[in-house]
Structure 1
């Protein structure tokens, strides 16, 4: 019979397995020890942790309750119950378990960090900061307390205090992914997009499957592109006008009246530009590498044109139908008041169709043939349709002719697409 390892050795081995996210192996070792010593409180607590990591909440709850039956003063068992009830979404039971753990060990930094996170979930950042700082008073480098304090300061917008708090967190735990994630968010807030990208990529180096860091790193790259900064500025300007007019701000109304007519004429091109920007950055070489995609065989801008050019041309042709159709409805006597709601719904449908076309194009192989000619023709038809609809000298033949030209080109394109699919 093989000798049993000393108690401290097997407990250390189990805790290392749990730290490495290997709960199945930890459970196996713990159950072996339970057969030898079923009355050991700490063994039941370790079993509860192992089952909790496997999302077997009922079993983890029973193991923690068994530990408390053996020793009602086992604070760590209450802490496991807190984790279990938190994952199960039982708010009252979660709070009771944490209160019991803190009653037994009121200065335990781990429990105080959990209390701080609970306050954050309840939207009480000031209380969360106080709990975290209480934990730090007893353990100045406790990782969870440092993270909770940074989250609380960020929630309160206490930016001058947040910077040194984040530096303290990074100095104490340079390989903690959450530290780099928080630093990346702060760099994004300060519009230091290069630094933000570096921090998010540090998170991916430490945790390659961290989806939040992947998304944020992509956004940091996006904000470093000139076209994306234009799109962001345009979005912020339009938001200022929209929100300002709702609040009755005079400056916002002035901008609204100033751009009302030009915006009416440019709304569709602006939507196309913002839609193009939303997909353009996804093909950036650094974004492709973040998503484990091979580098493009052709230049970045060229691939973007080849991939989305056909969708842009098709969208322009669909939009080219609208000026002539609207002109025809007005000539038939349809009132502008009646036309407005229908036009709004129609434009919404057209925009949704355009978005769908661009999304479909992003999933397709890159075409080998340049779409520049087709895009040029579609742009010319689009410009012509607006011109003849707004220029009385081209009436009554210009607008219907523009509808026929755009419609004929669309029929031709759809027939070619059908033949290619067959």
Structure 2
């Protein structure tokens, strides 16, 4: 809430409207007051803040500057300018406005909290910690200072000091969504996934549209599932190897050399497992409820099959074109060594297209018809294309026929999709 001079009825009404994020109504009240008293500085400041909440940044900047023209010592006008420039992505102007506000009121906890958050954004957590502590010295329960202090301690990995700060924050502000969000983040770090889910769901109760809390609650549910924990462990393990080898860590190189050949053989099963886990988690009943989606009438596994089966069949038909295509390039005289870069780029494009198809399927209604028939046909065509490309007895007609069949089925599917869309 913005601090203000001795309260009047219209100021209280405007403050309340801004606090509940109704800036359009707040703007109307302030303009009525400015029509009666166009030289009132605080009215200009409130109007600037109302325009800022509506993302009308140019107008908000202009009105704040009008307030400063009336009173160059109006620190709150500098603070609103700081918010405006921050939203506009103007870092130098943002820092300049905040310095001016702090110069006028160096002990204002709100300004010190903003300074701490600015330091955090600049990756200077030690300075952020000092600024937040300075603000708390003047107001020990200031919400923004406690939040900045918690974020700084988290960045500095000073875990023993973080827990009491979070408890102080939630005790002083039990209905503040950010307090429960930070508790959820800390519970996730400590691998207390059930507790993290509770904290994130409390955020969603207080702020139902909070995207960070929605993602956090969904991740907490994921990590309570055995398959989810296995996928996270596998992802962390592979990340350790890839990042460790870049940094020259001997342990990472040792793991890399030990698993190089097995990983090459198991890459497709691993990718299939990770893809299945992602699909399984996103369709979990608790995750669906978080996203305000009603529970499906069909069983959970059946819904997964119906939703992603068509995308999987389409992906297999696309992949079924590749063996015949590669066989054709080799028959035309291309060296195997020269195919590497082109195939890498082509396969990357294909994989991205397949991922896009699965993401698109996740946003569509669940089909009513079973995709098992198409899955069976696509799997048979895919297996057949690999077989004929590797079996010289079938050359040259086998690979060409497999490409013709896969291409014909793809054309048929795309025509049906186009007809359905029309």
TM-score by structure 1 length?
A: 0.85
What is aligned with 2:112? 112
CA contact (8 A) 2:153 2:162 kept: yes
Tell me if 1:57 matches 2:54.
no
Tell me if 1:133 matches 2:130.
no
CA contact (8 A) 1:321 1:402 kept: no
Alpha-carbon separation, structure 1, partners of 2:415 and 2:59: 57
CA contact (8 A) 1:388 1:399 kept: no
Q: Aligned-pair distance for 1:244?
A: 2.8
Alignment of 1:1-400 (within 5 A): 8-320=8-320, 322-323=322-323, 326=326, 334-372=334-372, 374-375=374-375, 378-379=378-379, 395-397=392-394
Gap change, CA 1:127 and 1:326, over 3 Å in 2: same
* Pairs aligned (count): 414
Alpha-carbon separation, structure 1, partners of 2:403 and 2:273: 21
Bigger radius of gyration among the two: 1
Gap change, CA 1:365 and 1:39, over 3 Å in 2: closer
What is aligned with 1:3? none
Gap change, CA 1:374 and 1:59, over 3 Å in 2: closer
CA contact (8 A) 2:321 2:407 kept: no
Q: Secondary structure at the match of 1:191?
A: coil
CA contact (8 A) 2:107 2:138 kept: yes
Q: Aligned-pair distance for 1:380?
A: 6.0
What is aligned with 1:415? 412
Deviates more, 1:182-191 or 1:359-368: 359-368
Q: Secondary structure at the match of 2:297?
A: coil
Alpha-carbon separation, structure 2, partners of 1:171 and 1:188: 20
Alpha-carbon separation, structure 1, partners of 2:146 and 2:7: 32
Deviates more, 1:70-79 or 1:205-214: 70-79
CA contact (8 A) 1:318 1:406 kept: no
Alpha-carbon separation, structure 2, partners of 1:227 and 1:96: 50
CA contact (8 A) 2:320 2:402 kept: no
CA contact (8 A) 1:330 1:336 kept: yes
Deviates more, 1:257-266 or 1:197-206: 257-266
Q: Aligned-pair distance for 1:324?
A: 6.1
Gap change, CA 1:370 and 1:140, over 3 Å in 2: same
Structure 1 residues without counterparts, runs of 5 or longer: 1-5
Alpha-carbon separation, structure 2, partners of 1:274 and 1:407: 31
Alpha-carbon separation, structure 1, partners of 2:23 and 2:29: 10
Alpha-carbon separation, structure 1, partners of 2:213 and 2:235: 24
Alpha-carbon separation, structure 2, partners of 1:218 and 1:399: 51
Alpha-carbon separation, structure 1, partners of 2:350 and 2:59: 53
Deviations 1:184-204 (A, max 9, x none): 222222222222222222111
Deviates more, 1:177-186 or 1:44-53: 44-53
Q: Aligned-pair distance for 1:157?
A: 2.0
Q: Aligned-pair distance for 1:30?
A: 2.6
Deviates more, 1:102-111 or 1:72-81: 72-81
Alpha-carbon separation, structure 2, partners of 1:381 and 1:143: 62
CA contact (8 A) 1:388 1:395 kept: yes
Deviates more, 1:172-181 or 1:282-291: 282-291
CA contact (8 A) 1:317 1:406 kept: no
Alpha-carbon separation, structure 2, partners of 1:317 and 1:59: 55
Q: Secondary structure at the match of 2:227?
A: helix
Q: Secondary structure at the match of 2:292?
A: coil
Q: Secondary structure at the match of 1:281?
A: helix
Gap change, CA 1:407 and 1:287, over 3 Å in 2: farther
Deviates more, 1:364-373 or 1:379-388: 379-388
Alpha-carbon separation, structure 1, partners of 2:248 and 2:387: 36
